Amino acid sequence: MGKQLWNEGVKVNAICPGVVLTPLLTPELKAYFSENVLLTMSDVTNVILKLISEEEVTDSKGTFVPGDQLHSQAILVSGEKYYCVDMPEYFDEETQLTHQHMMG
């Protein structure tokens, strides 16, 4: 949807955080994860604010995304770092057809 809505002035990206400390993360669930992988809400919102407010970004591995391509990105959030991930390949014809129908 990102490419289609970009033409209408709407920026769409997918934010993919790991395990975020929210009230939904009960102590029992939290026990499954190492403390060093837990994210705070501010870790996630800081990345979102960067994507909203900046015309272009350079992610934590040095990948530069110019403003006219800052849509349809999958953004992995890892603590204070974030990574732009390439669109995955289609693994079967049904997935490709679904995407084509959604994009018009």
Question: What are the backbone dihedrals phi and psi of residue 101, each rounded to the nearest 5 degrees, phi first?
Answer: -70, -35
Amino acid at 66: P
Q: Is the pTM of this model over 0.85?
A: no
pLDDT above 60: residue 104: no
Mean pLDDT of 78-96: 81
Portion of the chain with pLDDT greater than 70, in percent? 91
Q: Which residue has the tokens 């604010």?
A: 49
pLDDT score of 45:
95
CB of 47 within 8 A of CB of 75?
yes
Q: Where are the beta strands (DSSP E) in the chain?
A: 14-17, 19-20, 38-39, 57-58, 64-65, 74-78, 81-85
pLDDT above 60: residue 94: yes
